[in-house]
Amino acid sequence: MRKLVITVILITTFKLAFSQYPSPRQLFPGLFEAVQLSDIFPDNKTFVDSAPNRDPQLILKDFNEQKDKPGFDLKQFVYDNFTIPVSGTSLFKTDISLGVRKHIDTLWKVLYRKHDTVSKYSSLIQLPNDYIFPGGRFRETYYWDSYFTMLGLIESHQIQTVKNMIANFAFMIDKYGFIPNGTRTYYLTRSQPPFFSMMIDLLANIEGEQVYIKYQPELIKEYNFWMLGLNKLKPNQAYRNVVRLHDGEILNRYWDESDQPREESFKQDVEAAKKSKQKSTDFYRNIRAAAESGWDFSTRWMDTTGKLENIQTTFIIPVDLNCLIYHLEISIANTYKIQGINKQYALYFEKAQRRKKAILKYSWSEKNGWFMDYNWKLNQQTPVETLAGSYPLEFKIASNNQASKVASGIKTKFLKQGGLVTTLNRSGQQWDSPNAWAPLQYMAIDGLNNYNYKNLAKSIAEDWASSNIRVFNSTGKLMEKYNVIDTDVKAGGGEYPLQDGFGWTNGVLLNLLNKFRMDNL
């Protein structure tokens, strides 16, 4: 009975998150679609980030009265009634001569946002503390980005900013029942890779184990969000983020509560759905689930054709997601161990051990010598090798023999001139080859260090740092992603132009420069 009550409370809290805080599409029906399907803004995120200058109901009333009149100018109407956002880093000019370390120190100030500057009708979620945002078109806090940003903030001795950001995430867990993808109302239907427990590790390493006790309630609430609906599942069934496999094991997938086009990519989703043979609601759910993963988009989520219209994210159990939830289970267990509450410690520790066993059973491919994702609908591993296969090394889930094979695969398959490619496929999607991303470099490097492949880890770190600094010296910018094969060519793909700033690139670069003492670069 108690579990049923908790489930009802969680479902109610989650649904309230995106009903009580209306998104731009909910506020401006008709006007929203007209703007997003037009070419007023090349990037659909621009309009949903625009702040209404007055009561949305009055704006909508005027739109409905004027839209069919001769000479109505939709673009002018939008500019008259909304404050259009600008890039958070567009006005910043770099002095390359000062070097990349000074550049990053200065960027922390550029990417710093005061928490109390939210417009009344904006889609931006009000937070209790100041924070760092990624940069470019990403003008708000993002969940998994922030962990890697924190790595650099710690190197810069900005501990209070790290504490503020963690407190913001705890606030959102308490208010919404989970941490949204980003701090916008249109993100309140999904989360992102659950790095909150990793953030707590960072702070506990500085301030001691009492940090685990302080944030135990939020760690448990986040875990309950990811496990919501578990008790109603039979073998080969899924509900929201939870999957019960054919032998009864419990693992997780990505999921989004909405089956509509993403508001921030509305036109792209509508047009892509026309090419798909899936029901539009299924297609949109799969697109949104991939957005929750942070890997939007990659052949990782597609069938063997590698085409976006065949995306099947909700069929896939990602190895990295389950490693992160394993860490969350271990973290909760440890909060009880510190307090001497042995029964609850044993309960969560056993959950983690069962998950570890399932990860090894379903994700390890002896044939590939790699950790793969698993398609629970087809009861088989997916065919795409991705850098997510290094996560079991970061969380010490792999055996020494498995780690040896993963290290070999990293060296022979993924390591290129400028760092580690995300997948081995050249699809045109931004989370595929030849692109590389800071968070995946860090997780792979740290995982290799865990198993004493220190020379390989250092070599990758040096290649990645050199790529970052080479682009910085030629452009004065640190980018969201990098082309590590054709190193003279900018990274491409994706639904928007290459972004600079950039929170997680800055954080990982500074961490690696210090960890591997790369002052000669």
Residues designated catalytic: 296, 480
Q: Quick one: pLDDT at residue 19?
A: 62
Q: What is the mean pLDDT of residues 69-85?
A: 97
Q: Which two tokens stand for residue 207?
A: 């301030």
**Which one-letter amino acid corresponds to residue 162?**
V
pTM above 0.85, yes or no: yes
Q: What is the mean pLDDT of residues 292-305?
A: 96
Higher pLDDT, 116 or 447: 447
Give tens-digit pLDDT for 198-247: 999 999 999 999 999 999 999 999 999 999 999 999 999 999 999 999 99
Q: Which two tokens stand for residue 158?
A: 């900005």
Please write down the HEC assignment for all residues of 161-208. Answer: HHHHHHHHHHHHHHHHCCCCCECEHHHCCCCCCCCHHHHHHHHHHHHC
Name the band, by pLDDT with cuts 50, 70 and 90, for residue 156.
very high
CA-based R_g, the chain, Å: 23
Is 2 a residue whose pLDDT tops 80?
Answer: no
- The percent of the chain in helix, strand and coil, each rounded to the nearest 5, is 55, 10, 40
For 331-367, give the DSSP string.
HHHHHHHHHT-HHHHHHHHHHHHHHHHHHHHHHEETT
Q: What is the mean pLDDT of residues 157-180?
A: 98
CA distance 308 to 477: 30
Q: Quick one: pLDDT at residue 16?
A: 53
Mean pLDDT of the chain: 94
CA distance 56 to 40: 19
CB burial of residue 12 (10 Å; 0-12, 13-18, 19+):
exposed
CB 411 within 8 A of CB 478: no
CA distance 12 to 8: 6
Total residue count of the chain as it appears in this document: 521
Q: Quick one: pLDDT at residue 13?
A: 55
CA distance 163 to 496: 31
423: which DSSP letter? B
What are the φ and ψ backbone dihedral angles of 495, each rounded to 5 degrees? -95, 5
Closest to 435 (Cα-Cα) out of 420, 415, 456? 420
Name the band, by pLDDT with cuts 50, 70 and 90, for residue 489.
confident
Higher pLDDT, 493 or 142: 142
Name the band, by pLDDT with cuts 50, 70 and 90, for residue 9.
low
Show the CA angle centred on residue 229, arms to residues 223 and 234, nearest 5°. 125
CA distance 325 to 252: 8
Higher pLDDT, 516 or 88: 516
Q: What is the mean pLDDT of residues 469-498?
A: 88
Q: Quick one: pLDDT at residue 314?
A: 98
Name the band, by pLDDT with cuts 50, 70 and 90, for residue 27.
very high
